[in-house]
Structure 1
Amino acid sequence: MVDWSTLDTVFLDMDGTLLDLHFDNHFWLEHLPKRYAEHHDLHPQQAKDTLIPMIMAERGSLNWYCTDYWSDRLSLDITRLKAEVGDRIGYRPHVPEFLQSLRKGGLKSVIVTNCHPDPLALKLQRTGLDRHVDDIVSSHDLDKPKEDREFWQALATRTRYRHDRTLMVDDSFPVLESARDAGIRQCLAVLAPDSRQPAREPHAEIPGIHHFDEILPALRCLAPAKGSTRV
């Protein structure tokens, strides 16, 4: 599923890959409509019927992920509202062990996320995730979402990597397709990003896992053969 022996770098999505997507799904589908209804004196279902099409219309764009954009458009402090349900932020299964094994194996680990810097700071504060990886890059710093093939060109100006020696792990099929089309040789899909929702069907061309324990044994076998990160 993953040829660890050919890798120098592992790019990792955050929400739905390292962290449980339940937080984000709960916020956008339940908590935000509730607060929006209170703010505009609407019935909760009426708020949902207004918000969901508005949000979905931005899917795949940088606006879809931008806290500032939604704060301005909805006249609500999105970062503050996210903090209200911050107790739902948490790791997906086996993530700490996986990150530890990447480090022991001498592989460079970089979180590559579409998350806006403000909620990113909240999630790092809650999880300490930044202590377990070598770098974190937000697409907002590069002005392109990961779904855009040009993102990967811009990423190369921020963190050095070789396409043929890099693995991208993400729960988004469009992002993985974008990475693959940009030349990243190995891609891996996470099929169970939300702990409260059923797993998705696999991608026709990109291998997938439900949890990291499915690939940990092979990674751990690699660890003694490497002393340090090679890039």
Structure 2
Amino acid sequence: MPNWANIDTVLLDMDGTLLDLHFDNHFWLEVVPNAYAKKHQMSIDDARKEMANKYEAVQGQLQWYCLDYWQAELQLPIMELKREIQHLISIREDAIVFLHALKKAGKKLILLTNAHRDSLSLKVELTELDKYLDTLISTHDYGVSKEQQRLWQQVEADLQFDKSRTLFVDDSAAVLASAKEFGIGHLLAVANPDSKQPMRLLSGYENITDYRDILPV
């Protein structure tokens, strides 16, 4: 249980943290390889291998999250493909309760996502996620991802939060490690980001599978 008396600001990831990661996993692991295979008249297995290599080449960098990069790299209509499966975009059921409770407790709620602005806009359009939050930040506005210390330095300078009294929630071990290195005082890992996949604990962090277990009183 976080010590809510020592927390003023809550920084929240989006995909896998507030939203079900199933949409993104299905898109990048199924929809994109299938579209790539069709475009290049190759087998789906070969397309998956090629896509895996392309993903690995930019993992953790801003390009990994950049829809403009992937549209140019793959010559595929990325946003058009996303809209074809937009019915899979959904807020975690426990997240809404959590956000309401945090707001009632007077916490400042900030979305801090590596998602591209186009992806963020689509998800806000379909979920109205913005109505639960004070501020929505895409790291693309800063030109650097959450995996890099420069991002944290710029966000802290802009928002003027006290990092020792800030909770950061994410489902990525690499991102949580970056936040820890920067000195964010309270860290929470989401162990079940994809509703269609088994739970996996992130070692070295407090893990959560249901936000309703840690609501501030």
Q: 2: CA distance between counterparts of 1:105 and 1:69? A: 40
Q: 2: CA distance between counterparts of 1:118 and 1:158? A: 22
Q: Which residue of 1 aligns with 2:210?
A: 211
**Cα distance, 1:160 vs structure 2:** 2.2
Q: 2: CA distance between counterparts of 1:72 and 1:99? A: 36
Q: 2: CA distance between counterparts of 1:91 and 1:179? A: 24
- Point out where structure 2 has 5 or more consecutive residues left out of the alignment: none
Deviating beyond 3 angstroms after TM superposition, the runs of 4 or more aligned structure 1 residues are none
**Cα distance, 1:202 vs structure 2:** 3.4
Secondary structure in 1 matching 2:93: coil
Q: Which residue of 2 aligns with 1:83?
A: 83
Q: Which residue of 2 aligns with 1:106?
A: 106
Are 1:155 and 2:152 matched, yes or no?
no
**Deviation by residue 1:48-73 (Cα, 9 ceiling, x = unmatched):** 12111111221100010000000001
Q: Which residue of 1 aligns with 2:62?
A: 62
**Deviation by residue 1:78-133 (Cα, 9 ceiling, x = unmatched):** 11111111110001231111111111010000000000001111111110001110
Contact 1:110 1:136 in 2 (8 A): yes
- Point out where structure 1 has 5 or more consecutive residues left out of the alignment: 222-231
- One-letter amino acid of the counterpart of residue 77, structure 1: P
- One-letter amino acid of the counterpart of residue 113, structure 1: T
**Cα distance, 1:210 vs structure 2:** 1.0
Secondary structure in 1 matching 2:130: helix
The residue correspondences of 1:74-223 to structure 2 (distance < 5 A) are 74-203=74-203, 205-216=204-215, 219=216, 221=217
- Name the Cα RMSD after superposition: 1.0
**Cα distance, 1:39 vs structure 2:** 1.5
Contact 1:18 1:91 in 2 (8 A): yes
Contact 1:11 1:109 in 2 (8 A): yes
Query: Aligned residues, how many?
Result: 217
- One-letter amino acid of the counterpart of residue 202, structure 1: L
TM-score of the aligned structures, taking structure 1 as reference length: 0.91
Q: 2: CA distance between counterparts of 1:130 and 1:201? A: 28
**Cα distance, 1:33 vs structure 2:** 0.8
Contact 2:173 2:202 in 1 (8 A): no
Contact 1:13 1:169 in 2 (8 A): yes
